[in-house]
Structure 1
Amino acid sequence: MLEHDRLIQGMAVDGHFRVIAAQTTTAVETAREILDLSPVAADALGRAMTGSLLLARLLDKDVRNQYVTLRFEGNGPLGTVIADGSVGGNVRGYVANPVPDDPLLDADSAIGNGSLTVIRGTPPAGKPYTSQILLGGNGIATDITRYLMRSEQIASAVLLGVLNRRDGVASAGGIVIQAFPHATEEAIAAIEQRIKEAPPLSTLLEKLPIEDVVATVLHGVNYKQIDAGYTIPVSYTCQCTRDRALAPLALLGDDDLREMIDEGGTEVVCQFCGRKYQFGADELLALTAKHDA
């Protein structure tokens, strides 16, 4: 179903649970096109991107430049999968090997065993907070749920879905549900039962807008969406700049830089959006001069 991407918020069971949901179909399709992703890579990255947005939205919403980075490093054929999501709804991603040899792999097998690193930050101030868990092999949503339980000690559930069709990404999105401290065991059990009974999220998203998807999943537990003023648009946006592209070159040794200088310069390609930055010999010479200073 063609709908603009967005993040929404709500409450369930008389305010005992907070609910954040995202429709990310266009953002994931944009990533597929820009990064030339295979279906399994689009599935994995789409789930990771949606998860990063949901986690970012759990942060202080008044600080719009806060972000969450999810870095999946597994031994599967996709290699490293990275997703950056911001409180303001910007998201981007990267897959080390976007076209694995086996096209029939599911997203979890394609990532494999390894680790999930979660980075939360507020640029430019302060050092980012980093946490890491081992991948459990039960899915990206389950791994993010385990991270939330470990890092925040709050009963949480994460649902993620991506549906690929022959012509691209048909639907993508996710929901995170968190219990407040006063939530009862009976209320938690009711939410868990609704999640078990709900149809696959990606199937719902193909047919319904995100507002109706959440209402369907949480039917019978008094779900209410918060005022539309809390709804924000989501877009695939890369924050790369020329200065950021130059920064890694400054870390190279003089021998590597002089080799580039002899070749007349070098090119840096952003792994998130494919934008190309050309750096001439004079700019590289300036870097060697800084090393000598």
Structure 2
Amino acid sequence: MTDMTPGLGEFDFAGDDHVVPFQVEGLDVRGRAVQLGPMLDAILERHNYPLPVARLVAETVVLTVLLGTSLKFEGKLIVQTQGDGPVDLVVADFSTPDRVRAYARYDQEALAAAEKDGRTLSHELLGKGVLAFTIDQGAHTQRYQGIVALDGATLEEIAGVYFRQSEQIPTKVRLGVAELLDRDENGKPRHRWRAGGMVAQFLPEAPERMRQPDLSGGDGDDGESAFGDDDLWAEAKVMVETIDMDELTDPMVGTERLLYRLFHERGVRVYEPQAVYDRCSCSREKLQSVLSNLSTDDLESTIDDGEVKVTCEFCSTTYRFEASEVRPQ
């Protein structure tokens, strides 16, 4: 545990692809912050997504690692958007303690039309649908799922609505993505991706202080309530909202320095960073088990020239099986 003092330069920074838990005791705020670099590049590079899709995937990965690294048990967090827009599916999952993977599905023609018309905001690409958070603790346990409508201009706004409705913990989410254009060692132009994010939550000792203004019920209800934000939470939200998107992604700023800029007057404290890695959970054994459990008709329809070929949507690894390996004995 490290107390963030003006002697910040004395500390080793977490760097890219490490989630940094933090606490601001003077504001009763706890949270997590991260900057992603090589790990995110690896995920996006293998799929070669169009730029708007890559940005959506990057934001989803940031949100997933911020939340997934807070799990206190062995399991998996799945964050998934599903809508009727050009990008009808984005999914990222975090498997404890440190594995991340992600992919997106999109309609190429619909996406091209949206780009031509300048409709590239998150809600325009995703359309109407839902954002789902699923926690899976493995066999013999029941999955927990929270769902919120895709009702917001950005993914961070949508995630904020989820926390407001489902978790009932005052929460502020910030997500940022940056595309870097430079040249490789051979002078060839290349794209590189960076992303960053922060989740800050108000967790006072007195739970009644977490009460937020009521949401509007519609039908003329203006949502006014006798309850307003706690003064400390109102101050914390303003601080988080001042973050510039460049600060979230700039490696020269770094996660700890950003936290110090925001909260040093209130006493910010950071904890041991947690590394995250681009690692898929697929395996030949798992896929062979799935294929072996297919019905005879379904299995036979997948066999081509005496073999079955399966490509993982997340990591793009292709597995080949002889028909005799998957047919029931």
Deviations 1:156-185 (A, max 9, x none): 111111111333234212111111133761
Partner of 1:199: 244
Partner of 2:53: 41
Deviations 1:81-104 (A, max 9, x none): 001023423211010128632445
Partner of 1:14: 26
TM superposition shift of 1:213: 2.2
Query: 2 CA distance for matches of 1:247 and 1:151?
Result: 36
Query: 2 CA distance for matches of 1:19 and 1:260?
Result: 47
Percentage of pairs with the same residue: 23
TM superposition shift of 1:3: 4.2
- Of 147, 150, 154, the residue aligned with 2:169 is 154
SS in 1 for 2:156: helix
- Of 135, 138, 142, the residue aligned with 1:127 is 142
SS in 2 for 1:43: helix
Partner of 1:56: 68
Partner of 2:156: 141
Partner of 1:240: 282
Residue 177 in structure 1 maps to residue 200 in structure 2: yes
- Of 126, 143, 146, the residue aligned with 1:111 is 126
Deviates more, 1:271-280 or 1:118-127: 118-127
User: What is the root-mean-square deviation in Å for CA atoms of aligned residues?
Assistant: 2.4
Query: 1 CA distance for matches of 2:255 and 2:281?
Result: 27
Deviates more, 1:70-79 or 1:216-225: 216-225
- Of 2, 10, 17, the residue aligned with 1:5 is 17
Residues 211-230 of structure 1 mapped to structure 2, 5 A cutoff: 211-218=256-263, 220-226=265-271, 230=272
Deviations 1:232-267 (A, max 9, x none): 111111011112223443453322323444631210
Q: 1:87 to 1:29 in 2, by over 3 A?
A: same
Unaligned runs of 5+ in 1: none
User: How many pairs were matched up?
Assistant: 280
Partner of 2:84: 75
Query: 2 CA distance for matches of 1:14 and 1:114?
Result: 39
TM superposition shift of 1:11: 0.6
Q: What residue identity is the alignment partner of 1:133? A: V
TM superposition shift of 1:282: 0.4
Residue 84 in structure 1 maps to residue 93 in structure 2: yes
TM superposition shift of 1:15: 6.4
Deviations 1:166-213 (A, max 9, x none): 332342121111111337611101111112322125665343211112
- State the TM-score, normalizing by the size of structure 1: 0.86
Determine if contact 2:40/2:193 at 8 Å carries over to the other structure: no
Higher radius of gyration, 1 or 2: 2
Determine if contact 2:27/2:232 at 8 Å carries over to the other structure: no
Residue 190 in structure 1 maps to residue 235 in structure 2: yes
Partner of 2:220: none
Deviations 1:21-75 (A, max 9, x none): 1222222211111111222112111111111111122321xx3x33210110012
TM superposition shift of 1:150: 2.4
Query: 2 CA distance for matches of 1:45 and 1:267?
Result: 26
